[in-house]
Structure 1
Amino acid sequence: MIIELPDTNVSKISRALIDVREEGGAVALGRVLTLVIVTGHGAEEEAIEAANDASREHPMRVIVLMVGKDGDPRLDAQIRVGGDAGASEVVVLQAFGDAASNIESLVTGLLLPDAPVVVWWPDYPPEIPSASPLGRIAQRRITDASTRPYDAHRLSALGENHEPGDTDLAWTRLTHWREQLAAVLDQPPYEPITAIEVRGASSSPSTALLAAWLRLMLDVPVDWRYLPPDEWHDGIKSVRLVRESGDIVLERSSPAIACLYQPGQPDHDLVLPRRTLRECLAEELRRLDPDLLYGRVITEGWQLLGPPEPTEANG
């Protein structure tokens, strides 16, 4: 069910949410958090769809905020419940003109009482998320370095401005890669890794974060580089762990399949697809405490890593 509330205010929206709850029974009492999504007009549906899917694991209230600085002061709202909202209730806000001048006030009156707040910027995050009006009221702040703005220095900025509670979906996409590599290193022979090579697409900040994680955890040199588009164009391509008895290589042969090569063992094909937006968002919502490992990787690991090695294409 979708309820349209044109030219409204926060009090009317709050009242409408109470009316929906009373009509539908105690459907909102099990909400465990409020997710605030800050996005642009035309990009909201993908984010809402991901939040609706994630809500089946984390029942929540979703507030989607779209701001337009121009035009007459106006606040339009839409409430989605039932089949249009998964296991959540979705409030879509479009603010124009002076009505968009104080975005914190638009959101605070709609937050669930005594529930954690998570803010997600699918693209165009503030320069310092923790210092932004919405970031200050949130326990967790989620960005995505693989989306706009496309900036080669974006990971450096994330490290320089990092505060506990910040995280990025480029890091979340690494979970299965980190699990596979950790599992390999838990097997004999327990020889030290002496060098590491990481390769990936130039559009994949996850490649750099994986290299920073390996540099921090194993404390050995990491040769990492971005591949030209004609060689690889989607996410991480390969990791090579060098040791005395032979190299361990985990390499994608296609966007969904990776092959694990180990000395003295048969090759193994592994299902290792690029994680969906829903999977990454659901994982981040499982923990509302600071991700301390990500904090160390984006700060200490990134500083230790150094710039990528040049390729023939980017030379």
Structure 2
Amino acid sequence: MKIDLTETTSSKINAALVQARRDIGTPAIGMVLTLVIVTDEENAYDALKSANDASHEHPSRIIVVIKRASRSPRSRRDARLDAEVRVGADAGTGETVVLRLHGELVNHAQSVVLPLLLPDAPVVVWWPDGAPPNLAGDPLGALGQRRISDTYASENPQQALGERAAAYAPGDTDLSWTRITPWRSMLAAALDQQSLKVASVVVEGEDENPSCELLAMWLADRLQVPVRRTASDGPGLTSVRLETKDGDIVLDRADGSLATLCMPGQPDRAVALKRRDTAELLAEELRRLDPDNTFEAALKFGVSKLTAPAPAAAEAEVAPTDSPETVTGPKADAAPAKPAAKPSKKASAK
């Protein structure tokens, strides 16, 4: 069932939701959370489709906030709220409210969303694209216990990672981090099977891919070894090499779906490591509502290394390869500068 409301208010939207539930014969609310999606018209369809798919695992009230840019000064002064209410088969396993904010109301979206939140239920705010630098400081972000962004959709992913680290607050997360969950699980399991000391790591993947950077920072933070980041044609992450004195542990995925795990003294094995769609990533993030301390540690570990130019010592270390690289880890720190030579007595006399 769909109900269109033009020039409406939050109270009328709530009344429409109650009436729609009665009309379809489900007056009780069986949803576990409120998911607020902040997006634009271009990305609203894909974001709502992913949220509806994720609602089969997490029944929720989905509130889509679309801020409509006004073209003329007069229309920018006029505030108007249009809404579309969906329940039943048109809204997954929960209910959906699509809000279109016009004029001055764009700057007060939180006042429209607040009355529509489910009582005594957690709130998750998701920006599929165009996330603010400070998620918790955003008026809509302040409503949520969890705030989800996606730096992969940013024009400059590395800069976006730096902004996320600088303004991190408990509850922040990113889908670029969620994308590497299978990689982290596979690598952790491989190290549990081998009593080998890792000396260095090489992470290979698409250039400007924030998932590759996050995986490199996580490995450098957890293993406390030098981690070198190399570029490939993708798709996404393609290879991780853990270098040890007894042989390398290699997890290689060239086609984006099936990977090969190579370990010293063991036969190579094929493992499923397919690239997941947005609905699967969102469903994973909705499973936990507590702060992700591991993400925080990885995010804050290498921000300065991602933004600062590579030191000369690190450049010399990776010079044999032709592809652009970013180096993280303890070895990437520049060596202390040698003290300047003291001037000779003759020079002082001059």
TM range (shorter): over 0.9
- Structure 2 counterparts to residues 85-104 of structure 1, below 5 A: 85-104=91-110
Q: Where does structure 1 lack aligned partners over 5 or more consecutive residues?
A: none
**Cα distance in 1 between the residues matched to 2:14 and 2:155:** 34
**Cα distance in 2 between the residues matched to 1:126 and 1:303:** 20
Does 2:179 match 1:173?
Answer: yes
Does 2:164 match 1:154?
Answer: no
- Structure 2 counterparts to residues 216-231 of structure 1, below 5 A: 216-227=221-232
User: Higher mean Cα deviation, 195-204 or 114-123?
Assistant: 195-204
| Contact 1:216 1:304 survives alignment (8 Å) | no
**Cα distance in 2 between the residues matched to 1:237 and 1:27:** 49
SS in 1 for 2:153: coil
SS in 1 for 2:66: strand
Mark the CA change 1:307 to 1:58 in structure 2 (over 3 Å): closer, same or farther. farther
Identity, % of aligned pairs?
46
| Contact 1:123 1:149 survives alignment (8 Å) | no
Matching residue of 2:295: 294
The letter for the 1-side match of 2:24 is: G
Task: Give the CA deviation at 1:263.
Answer: 2.0
SS in 1 for 2:151: coil
Corresponding residue pairs, total: 310
| Contact 1:204 1:234 survives alignment (8 Å) | no
1:84-103 Cα shifts (integer Å, max 9, x gaps): 11112010001110222311
Task: Give the CA deviation at 1:198.
Answer: 0.4
Does 2:255 match 1:254?
Answer: yes
In the superposition, the TM-score normalised over structure 2's length comes to 0.84
1:93-122 Cα shifts (integer Å, max 9, x gaps): 011102223110110010001111100000
Task: Give the CA deviation at 1:233.
Answer: 3.1
**Cα distance in 1 between the residues matched to 2:154 and 2:163:** 14
**Cα distance in 2 between the residues matched to 1:69 and 1:80:** 24
User: Higher mean Cα deviation, 75-84 or 150-159?
Assistant: 150-159
Matching residue of 2:80: 74
The letter for the 1-side match of 2:200 is: A
SS in 2 for 1:152: helix
User: Higher mean Cα deviation, 28-37 or 213-222?
Assistant: 28-37
- Structure 2 counterparts to residues 183-262 of structure 1, below 5 A: 183-188=189-194, 190-227=195-232, 232-262=233-263
| Contact 2:171 2:292 survives alignment (8 Å) | yes
| Contact 1:79 1:90 survives alignment (8 Å) | yes
Matching residue of 1:312: 322
Task: Give the CA deviation at 1:151.
Answer: 4.2
Task: Give the CA deviation at 1:255.
Answer: 1.3
**Cα distance in 2 between the residues matched to 1:87 and 1:185:** 40
Task: Give the CA deviation at 1:262.
Answer: 1.5
**Cα distance in 1 between the residues matched to 2:18 and 2:52:** 20
Mark the CA change 1:63 to 1:28 in structure 2 (over 3 Å): closer, same or farther. farther
User: Higher mean Cα deviation, 23-32 or 49-58?
Assistant: 23-32
| Contact 1:192 1:243 survives alignment (8 Å) | yes
Provide the alpha-carbon RMSD of the alignment.
1.9
Matching residue of 1:139: 145
Q: Where does structure 2 lack aligned partners over 5 or more consecutive residues?
A: 326-350
Task: Give the CA deviation at 1:251.
Answer: 0.7
**Cα distance in 1 between the residues matched to 2:239 and 2:199:** 17
Task: Give the CA deviation at 1:25.
Answer: 3.2
Matching residue of 2:24: 24
Structure number with the higher helix fraction is 2
Matching residue of 2:4: 4
1:116-151 Cα shifts (integer Å, max 9, x gaps): 110000000112010000111110000001003434
| Residue number among 123, 129, 132 corresponding to 1:126 in the alignment | 132
Task: Give the CA deviation at 1:296.
Answer: 1.1
Mark the CA change 1:299 to 1:177 in structure 2 (over 3 Å): closer, same or farther. same
**Cα distance in 1 between the residues matched to 2:155 and 2:162:** 14
